[in-house]
Amino acid sequence: MRNHPIVITEIDAARLRGLIAVQARAQLDQDHLHELAAELERARIAEPDDVPADVITMHTRIHVLDLVSGERQELTLVLPRESDASAGRISVLAPLGTALLGYRAGDEVEWLMPGGLRRLRIESVFPPAADRVAPVREVLSTAIG
């Protein structure tokens, strides 16, 4: 867990709380869900227009540098149903997705993954397109079912 709270949009907070509630019933990867829930509890919730453009939110495209291997990757933080590792679309419920949520360009992320400790530097952040931001009412009905 990080030392400072993340900044997250109201829409993302609602969406993620719904996902956590659904996933909690599945009783899979509960430790990871608890980590995400703890991050949300500590988060500063803001209107989308009040979140700086360099903060990683849902549907943000990110360029990262692996500080151990030197490998560069382009990732997009997405909902689980949109994830596709081969296309660089990483689920927010995956350990790396949770780790990236709320960080900013220039930050270094250190997070324990199933394969061991990963250290990444966020080189650049590209905010989601305006058409990717759904109204809260739609988000809640989609997340909860």
pLDDT band at 4 (very low <50, low <70, confident <90, very high): low
Tokens of 102: 């709320």
| This prediction's pTM | 0.78
pLDDT at 2: 55
- Give the whole-number percent of the chain exceeding pLDDT 70: 81
In a domain, 2, yes or no: no
In a domain, 69, yes or no: yes
From CA 61, how far away is CA 77, in angstroms rounded? 7
Structural domains counted in the chain: 1
Domain span holding position 99 = 7-144
Mean pLDDT of the chain: 82
Name the strand (E) or helix (H) holding 10.
Answer: helix 10-26
In 3D space, the residue among 140, 145, 122, 142 whose CA is nearest the CA of residue 13 turns out to be: 140
Question: Could you tell me the CATH number of the domain that includes residue 129?
Answer: 3.10.50.30
Count Cβ neighbours within 10 Å for each residue of 37-72 and write b for 16 or more, e otherwise.
eebbeebebbeeeebeebbbbbbbbbebbeeeeeee
In a domain, 47, yes or no: yes
